[in-house]
Amino acid sequence: MDTFSIKRIDNDDYSTLHLEGFLDAHTAPELESEFEKLMGEGRFNIVVNFSELNYISSAGLGVFMGCIENIRENGGDIKMCCMTPKIFRVFDLLGFPALYDIVDDEEKPLNYFANKTHKFS
């Protein structure tokens, strides 16, 4: 079985999830419960780092679709970054760039969330 793991790092303004391994129908529930936990804690500003992810299936993509509405309604967002070309291709074919911010490095979402917090405060 292919493995999948999530590393979570909490900052003041946002949380980063580092995904690693294979995200498919079997491992998707893990990511789903991680998102639920974040939302339960009221953390809606989320950066997902894909640099270590080897594979994502449609069920994996479904996880993001499943929670984005709730996160955006709560004033937050999911920013995706650091995708390998192969992973980006999967997101691109489905047209995700039209729905999500997908960026090359972690700095950009970081700035976004920092500015946003600044605006609100």
Partner 1 sequence: MRRIHQLSLLLPLAFFIAACVQYLGIVSGDVYSLAAIYTRDGFILISLILSLPLIYKQKWASDRNVLRGLRHLFFLIIITSGILFLSDERLGLLQERFLEKNVLSASLADAVFIISWAFFAVVFILIALGTLRNLIYVKRKRTTARNFTWLMIVLLLYSLASVPEYYSESALDSTLLKYLNYVLLFIFINFAVINSFRVGWINYLNKKQKLGCFWGGLILTPVQIGFLSRFRDINPIMSFSPLLERFIEMGMVFLTIYLVTSFLALLSHLPTAKIYDRKMQQVQSLQDLSRALSSEFDWAKLVRTIIKLASEVAESEFAWLELYDPKSGKLALISSRNLSQSERQKWKASTDGRLVDKLSRTKDTMLFNQASKAELVRSVKKWKKDIGSLMAVPMIASDRILGFLYAAKKEEFGFEQDDAEMLRAFSDQAAIAVQNARLVEESIIKERLEQELRIAHEAQMKLLPKHMPKIQGIEIDAVCITANEVGGDYYDFFELGDGKLGVVIGDVSGKGPSAAFYMAEVKGIMEALAKEVRSPKAMLVAANETLYRNFERKTFISLIYGILDAQDRRFTFCRAGHCPLFLVNSHDEQPRLLEPRGLGVGLDAGTVFERTLEQMQIELKEGDTLLLYTDGVTEARNPKGDEFGEERLAETLLQVKSGSPTEIKKSIIHNIYSFFDGQNAYDDLTFIVIKAQSDEKAR
Residue ranges that bind partner 1, judged by CB under 8 A:
24-25, 28, 32, 55, 57-59, 61-63, 65-67, 69, 90, 93-96, 98-99
Q: Any long-range contacts for 115-120 (C-beta under 8 Å, 24+ apart)? A: 116/13, 116/45, 117/12, 117/13, 117/45
* Beta carbon of residue 30, minimum distance to partner 1 (angstroms, whole number): 14
Residue 66 or 88: the one with the smaller Cβ distance to partner 1 is 66
Largest CA distance in the chain: 47
CB 20 within 8 A of CB 31: no
Phi, psi values for residue 84, rounded to 5°: -70, 160
Residue 42 or 93: the one with the smaller Cβ distance to partner 1 is 93
**Helix, strand, or coil (residue 89):** helix
Residue 32 or 101: the one with the smaller Cβ distance to partner 1 is 32
Residue 44 or 113: the one with the smaller Cβ distance to partner 1 is 44
* Beta carbon of residue 114, minimum distance to partner 1 (angstroms, whole number): 27
